């Protein structure tokens, strides 16, 4: 796995064992960022970060800063290694070890605001997360924020936000929502 484009383009990323995460493929990330267009200066929140590839790609392409949230210890260690290897440290990149729900509650209490959210939970959890997720992310969404969900096409991640784009790549379904 590698960073696709931007100032870190071509750099290799470590990936947690496949039993821990399911990283977004290079092909899907490339198509997703082409769809998103310029992201210069955006603040990014990557929940269920896995290897950190989505947030790292956003930083490489000009996002101002990113928070990466990962509950799994093995995956969080890989994210920390990737950030260190790429020279991405606070305040540009911050790793939060813990659940997405707790991270969202902390972000809301701190009055943090994000322009771009990546929600890529384990596929078997995606369908169950949809309803509660909007309530949790609403307080931290900047005006015109975009929310990207990744799920299995057979069990889509449903969000009660306006969908502005939907793409399918094999069994992977990418949806882009806007506040």
Q: Are 15 and 23 in contact (CB under 8 A)?
A: yes
Tell me the pLDDT band of 19, cut-offs 50, 70 and 90: low
Give the phi and the psi of residue 33 in degrees, each rounded to 5.
-70, -30
Range in 62-66, 73-77, 85-89, 129-133 with the lowest mean pLDDT? 129-133
Q: Are 60 and 8 in contact (CB under 8 A)?
A: yes
- Rounded Cα distance between 7 and 48, Å, is 24
pLDDT at 75 over 60: yes
Is the CATH number 3.40.50.150 carried by domain 26-178? yes
Our measurement of the distance from residue 175's CA atom to the centroid of its chain's CA atoms, rounded to an integer in Å, reads: 12
Q: Minimal CA–CA distance to 120: which of 92, 88, 156, 80?
A: 156
Mean pLDDT, to the nearest integer, of 26-42? 95
> What pTM value is reported for the model?
0.93
Q: Are 16 and 72 in contact (CB under 8 A)?
A: yes
Report pLDDT digits (tens) over 103-161. 999 999 999 999 999 998 876 665 566 667 788 899 999 999 999 999 888 888 888 89
Q: Minimal CA–CA distance to 104: which of 78, 67, 73?
A: 67
Tell me the pLDDT band of 23, cut-offs 50, 70 and 90: confident
Question: What does the mean pLDDT of the chain come to?
Answer: 91
- Rounded Cα distance between 133 and 21, Å, is 20
Give the chain's radius of gyration (CA, Å): 15
- pLDDT of res. 71: 93
- Rounded Cα distance between 125 and 120, Å, is 10
- pLDDT of res. 131: 64
Q: Minimal CA–CA distance to 147: which of 36, 71, 59?
A: 36
- pLDDT of res. 122: 76
How many residues are given for the chain?
A: 179
Q: Minimal CA–CA distance to 48: which of 114, 107, 126?
A: 126
């Amino acid at each position: 796995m590698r960073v696709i484009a931007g100032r870190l383009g071509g750099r290799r990323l470590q990936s947690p064992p496949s039993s821990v995460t399911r990283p977004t493929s290079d092909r899907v990330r490339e198509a997703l960022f082409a769809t998103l267009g310029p992201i210069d200066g955006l603040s990014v929140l990557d929940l269920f970060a896995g290897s950190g590839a989505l947030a790292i790609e956003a930083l490489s392409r000009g996002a101002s800063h990113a928070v990466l949230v990962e509950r799994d210890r093995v995956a969080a260690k890989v994210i920390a290694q990737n950030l260190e290897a790429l020279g991405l440290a606070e305040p540009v990149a911050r790793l939060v070890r813990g659940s997405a729900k707790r991270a969202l509650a902390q972000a809301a209490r701190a009055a943090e605001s994000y322009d771009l959210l990546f929600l890529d939970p384990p596929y078997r959890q995606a369908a169950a997360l949809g309803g509660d997720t909007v309530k949790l992310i609403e307080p931290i969404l900047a005006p015109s924020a975009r929310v990207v969900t990744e799920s299995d096409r057979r069990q889509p991640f449903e969000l009660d936000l306006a969908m502005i784009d939907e793409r399918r790549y094999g069994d992977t379904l990418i949806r882009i929502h806007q506040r």
